[in-house]
Amino acid sequence: MKYRVLGRTGVRVTPLCLGAMMFGAWGTQDHDESIKIIHRALDAGINFVDTADVYSAGESEVIVGKALAGGRRDDIVLATKAYMPMGPGPNRGGLSRRWLIQECENSLRRLGTDYIDLYQVHRPDPSTDIDETLGALTDLVRAGKIRYFGSSTFPAHEVVEAQWVAERRARERFVTEQPPYSILVRGIEADLLPVAQKYGLGVLPWSPLAGGYLSGRYRRDGGPVTSTRAERVPQRFDPAIPENRRKVELAIELADVAAEAGLSLIELAIAFVLRHPAVTSAIIGPRTMEHLESQLPAADVTLDDAVLDRIDALVPPGTNINSADAGWVPPSLTNPALRRR
């Protein structure tokens, strides 16, 4: 695979990043099978692996650590994340100095390594001053625990705030942002992606297959639309919701576009994300070896302008078909007390 520079770091990564969310209790529970999938990805040329502490309550990090043991670690750019609750109690999550330093040590132990290449904060934390978070992350860099740090699913204005605070307080700064991005979730094209380009952040989109909507499972001659995720995340997957029905309709139309271009829908979807000039590497999240094999060819696909124009006609730039797919909802929208004097 060809390499792309990760933001302004000088680190070179492949255009596909292996996401490890589905390794462990949330997906492939057989550790040996998960390790085989990871090794196949590395053998195919991928040099970038992304996980998080919360994935299967740390089990994903353990599996990734096993897979990278025995001499593979130094060739891999290893990323993980913190923020989500990791147990009961008010201080086992968030972006406080207390938690980030503690949880970084926990991730290092689970991963079986003495440094993390890219340590990412998984979501914004309105209860913690961004200067405290940047200060803790800067100290982790200076202690050699992490090499760089980034954000995930931050709105554009918080990305800008973090850059300005880092400059004013002489902190290390976020070098990457990991947002949701796919043909069906294009909202970040309006503001986040231009901001990332302005500040030189590497962009690492998650869910380029839109949570499976763009996996090719929906066909014109298919049966009733169902989803195993509808009970867990109904706002995004319940087919009774009009926006989700529209996603299915678009997936079927996009499959026609892909077929006419001589591609699978998976290849079309991932290649679309990789074509944006702000994007460094798309995170793929296979659960099985078959999933991985179906996604690897996308790294070599370049969509021409005619295909991109057809995609734009179906899903206008800057549009999220379902706003629930944005990945993060500001507290001011979920807590009425913040909107009422």
Largest CA distance in the chain: 59
Report yes or no on 235 lying in a domain. Answer: no
Report yes or no on 280 lying in a domain. Answer: no
Which CATH number covers residue 166?
Answer: 3.20.20.100
Low-confidence ranges of the chain (pLDDT < 70): 223-224
pLDDT of residue 13: 98
Report yes or no on 269 lying in a domain. Answer: no
Query: Residue 99 is part of which domain span?
Result: 10-178
Report yes or no on 80 lying in a domain. Answer: yes
Report yes or no on 53 lying in a domain. Answer: yes
pLDDT of residue 144: 98
Q: What does the pLDDT look like over 59-109, one tens digit per residue?
A: 999 999 999 998 999 999 999 999 999 999 999 999 999 999 999 999 999
Report yes or no on 200 lying in a domain. Answer: no
The amino acid sitting at 243 is E
> pTM of the entire structure?
0.96
Q: Which of 55, 83, 181, 218 is catalytic?
A: 55
pLDDT of residue 227: 72
- Alpha-carbon distance of 286 to 308, in angstroms, equals 25
By three-state DSSP, how is residue 315 classified? coil
pLDDT of residue 231: 78
Cα–Cα distances in angstroms (integers) from residue 60 to residues 24, 56, 207, 276, in the given order: 5, 6, 17, 29
Report yes or no on 331 lying in a domain. Answer: no
Mean pLDDT across the chain, nearest whole number? 96
Give yes or no: 55 in active site.
yes
Identify the DSSP state of 98: H
pLDDT of residue 73: 96
Report yes or no on 136 lying in a domain. Answer: yes
Joined together, the tokens standing for residue 325 give 């797919």
CA nearest to 150, candidates 141, 214, 226: 141
**Beta carbons of 142 and 116 less than 8 angstroms apart:** no
- Alpha-carbon distance of 325 to 61, in angstroms, equals 25
By three-state DSSP, how is residue 208 classified? coil
Residues in the chain: 341
Q: What does the pLDDT look like over 282-314, one tens digit per residue?
A: 999 999 999 999 999 999 999 999 999 999 999
Joined together, the tokens standing for residue 219 give 């066909």
Backbone Cα Rg of the chain: 19
How many C-beta atoms surround the C-beta of residue 192 within 10 A?
A: 23
Provide the number of structural domains found in the chain. Answer: 1
